[in-house]
């Protein structure tokens, strides 16, 4: 029978030659085809299971975790499950500890594999530890959402030692304590242990207020855990600039000095010099508002160009009100300074009547009452100028149609 089939197959395929030889070939091919068919079936079943699993995971992420369909598809690439028992146990535990739907959604987006954790064995002890030190409810939820890694740290090896170090040095309320656990760089915990105590001692010896120390320890722990020699060097730089340790600016200046490396510092100093600042101008600006040094060259230059070249402030005036550089050019600086420019041009106010910092920092209503509504009869266009509805080129004041690509007037 088999020989008959082989002969027929030979005739169909046009095979000629020895029948026995072709029979062996056919048998081998048949075995290969059966093997291939079997493997294909396994692959097909696996693909089907994967699709089913992916579909279940996506559905769960949307219905139980509050993710959008787009996010669910994205997150499901990082975690897969085909049963709800384990993720349900995790979500129920989080809800029991005060996590809202929003908290859960945010947490799952950041750490989807948390859904596969053993809730009883791995999560309960850590949540109970945080509750025992005063971090619970909304504070706990915020902390975990900011830094889900805290739920992956060992209690004995990381969480408890960190807590004891901090409690031995500072008195932190529950909020600052939760911020500390959210912001700490766990990879550098050993470094923190060896450096934080001597660094805090340096600050206390200088007279830095305790409230300031505790704030920076909880919000920027990397600053206080810097190697002690480098920390002392940076502190010396701050004091040499004449910043009083008791002032609110001291720790801000120390923070910026720590973040900006020497090549970047030199580059920025050249930038400020090119915009007309002397060394004294820079020191004045830095003492008042060290954060301006974190502005990019483009951001800083666009603001200086507008304030100096378009409005007419002297570079030293800007240095004396450097806090204004932190504000949005389009939302704050441009509309308010344009109003001032109009009032100057009409002699309604003098240049020294309002500082740049005051103009930018004051609430909108204060600005409207003091500088827009007050002079609306003399300059009816002021409100439109303030709200960006009037092109100043139409007023003949020499303004360009466009200010550094930010906005047209």
47 — pLDDT class (breaks 50, 70, 90): very low
pLDDT of 188: 58
Residue 273 pLDDT greater than 90, yes or no: yes
| Same-domain check for residues 272 and 255 | no
| Same-domain check for residues 286 and 249 | no
pLDDT of 256: 94
Query: How many domains does the chain divide into?
Result: 4
70 in any annotated domain: no
Share of the chain above pLDDT 90, in %: 48
State the angle between helix axes of 189-206 and 228-240 in degrees (0 to 180), rounded to the nearest 10.
30
End position of a domain, from candidates 130, 146, 162: 146
Q: Which CATH number does the domain housing residue 340 bear?
A: 1.25.70.10
User: Per DSSP, what are the bridge partners of residue 408?
Assistant: 402
pLDDT of 395: 53
**Which is more confident, 303 or 387?**
303
**Which is more confident, 387 or 18?**
387
Tokens coding 205: 């010896």
End position of a domain, from candidates 197, 229, 259: 259
402 — pLDDT class (breaks 50, 70, 90): very low
pLDDT tens digits, 224-240: 888 999 999 999 999 99
235 in any annotated domain: yes
68 in any annotated domain: no
Tell me the mean pLDDT in the region 316-334: 92
| Same-domain check for residues 408 and 390 | yes
Residue 9 pLDDT greater than 80, yes or no: no
pLDDT tens digits, 208-220: 999 899 888 888 8
Lowest mean pLDDT among 18-22, 287-291, 383-387: 18-22
pLDDT tens digits, 83-115: 999 999 999 999 999 999 999 999 999 999 999
Tell me the mean pLDDT in the region 57-76: 93
Q: Is 163 exposed, middle or buried (0-12, 13-18, 19+ CB in 10 A)?
A: buried
Tell me the mean pLDDT in the region 154-167: 84
pLDDT of 173: 80
Three-state SS for the chain is CHHHHHHHHHHHHCCCCCHHHHHHHHHHHHHHHHHHHHHHHHHHHHHHHHHHHHHHHHHHHHHCCCCCHHHHHHHCCCCCCCCCHHHHHHHHHHHHCCCCHHHHHHHHHHCHHHHHCCHHHHHHHHHHHHHHCCCCHHHHHHHHHHCHHHHHCCHHHHHHHHHHHHHHHCCCCHHHHHHHHHHCCHHHHHHHHHHHHHHHHHHHHHCCCHHHHHHHHHHCHHHHCCCHHHHHHHHHHHHHCCCCCCCCHHHHHHHHHHHCCHHHHHHHHHHHHHCCCCHHHHHHHHHHCHHHHHCCHHHHHHHHHHHHHHHCCCHHHHHHCHHHHHCCHHHHHHHHHHHHHHHHHCCCCCCCCCCHHHHHHCCHHHHHHHHHHCCCCCCCCHHHHHCCCCCHHHHCCCCCCEECCCEEC
Residue 403 pLDDT greater than 80, yes or no: no
pLDDT of 43: 38
Residue 408 pLDDT greater than 50, yes or no: no
5 — pLDDT class (breaks 50, 70, 90): very low
Share of the chain above pLDDT 70, in %: 80
What distance in Å separates the CA atoms of residue 31 and residue 35, rounded to the nearest whole number? Answer: 6
401 in any annotated domain: yes
pLDDT of 18: 47
**Which is more confident, 147 or 194?**
147
pLDDT of 192: 67
103 in any annotated domain: yes
State the average pLDDT for the chain. 81
186 — pLDDT class (breaks 50, 70, 90): low
Lowest mean pLDDT among 22-36, 115-129, 149-163: 22-36
Residue 6 pLDDT greater than 80, yes or no: no
Query: Which of 81-90, 384-393, 397-406 has the highest average model confidence (pLDDT)?
Result: 81-90
15 in any annotated domain: yes
| Same-domain check for residues 380 and 296 | yes
Residue 15 pLDDT greater than 50, yes or no: no
Lowest mean pLDDT among 108-122, 178-192, 213-227: 178-192
Tell me the mean pLDDT in the region 68-91: 93
pLDDT tens digits, 341-381: 889 888 898 877 888 888 888 888 988 998 899 998 898 88
| Same-domain check for residues 122 and 179 | no
Domain limits at 51?
2-62
Asked whether the whole model's pTM tops 0.95, one would answer no
Residue 79 pLDDT greater than 70, yes or no: yes
| Same-domain check for residues 275 and 376 | yes
228 in any annotated domain: yes
| Same-domain check for residues 195 and 323 | no
What distance in Å separates the CA atoms of residue 86 and residue 72, rounded to the nearest whole number? Answer: 18
Query: Which of 41-55, 141-155, 267-281 has the highest average model confidence (pLDDT)?
Result: 267-281
């Amino acid at each position: 029978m088999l020989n008959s089939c082989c002969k027929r197959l030979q005739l169909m395929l046009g095979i000629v030659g020895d029948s026995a030889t072709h029979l062996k070939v056919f048998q081998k091919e048949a075995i290969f085809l059966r093997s291939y068919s079997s493997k294909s079936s396994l692959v097909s079943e696996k693909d089907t299971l994967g699709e089913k699993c992916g579909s279940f995971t996506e559905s769960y992420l949307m219905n139980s975790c509050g993710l959008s369909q787009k996010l669910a598809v994205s997150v499901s690439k990082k975690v897969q499950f085909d049963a709800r028992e384990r993720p349900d146990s995790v979500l129920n535990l989080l809800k029991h500890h005060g996590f809202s739907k929003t908290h859960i959604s945010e947490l799952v987006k950041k750490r989807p594999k948390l859904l596969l954790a053993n809730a009883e064995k791995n999560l309960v002890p850590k949540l109970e530890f945080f509750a025992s030190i005063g971090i619970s409810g909304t504070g706990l939820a915020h902390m975990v959402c900011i830094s889900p890694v805290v739920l992956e740290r060992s209690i004995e090896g990381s969480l408890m030692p960190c807590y004891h170090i901090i409690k031995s040095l500072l008195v932190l309320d529950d909020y600052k304590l939760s911020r500390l656990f959210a912001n700490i760089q766990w990879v550098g915990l050993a470094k923190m242990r060896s450096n934080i105590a001597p660094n805090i001692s340096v600050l206390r010896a200088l007279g830095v207020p305790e409230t300031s120390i505790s704030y920076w320890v909880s919000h920027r722990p990397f600053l206080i855990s810097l190697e002690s020699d480098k920390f002392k060097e940076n502190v010396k730089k701050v004091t040499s600039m004449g910043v009083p340790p008791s002032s609110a600016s001291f720790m801000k200046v120390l923070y910026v000095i720590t973040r900006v490396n020497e090549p970047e510092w030199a580059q920025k100093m050249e930038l400020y010099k090119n915009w007309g600042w002397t060394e004294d101008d820079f020191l004045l600006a830095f003492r008042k508002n060290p954060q301006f040094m974190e502005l990019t060259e483009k951001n800083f230059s666009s603001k200086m160009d507008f304030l100096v070249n378009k409005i007419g402030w002297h570079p030293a005036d800007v240095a004396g009100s450097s806090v204004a550089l932190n504000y949005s050019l389009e939302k704050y600086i441009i509309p308010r300074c344009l109003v001032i420019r109009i009032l100057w041009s009409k002699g309604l106010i003098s240049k020294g009547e309002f500082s740049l910092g005051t103009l930018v920092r004051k609430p909108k209503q204060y600005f409207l009452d003091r500088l827009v509504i007050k002079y609306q009869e003399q300059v009816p266009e002021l409100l439109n100028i303030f709200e960006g509805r009037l092109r100043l080129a139409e007023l003949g004041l020499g303004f360009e149609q466009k200010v550094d690509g930010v906005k047209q007037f």
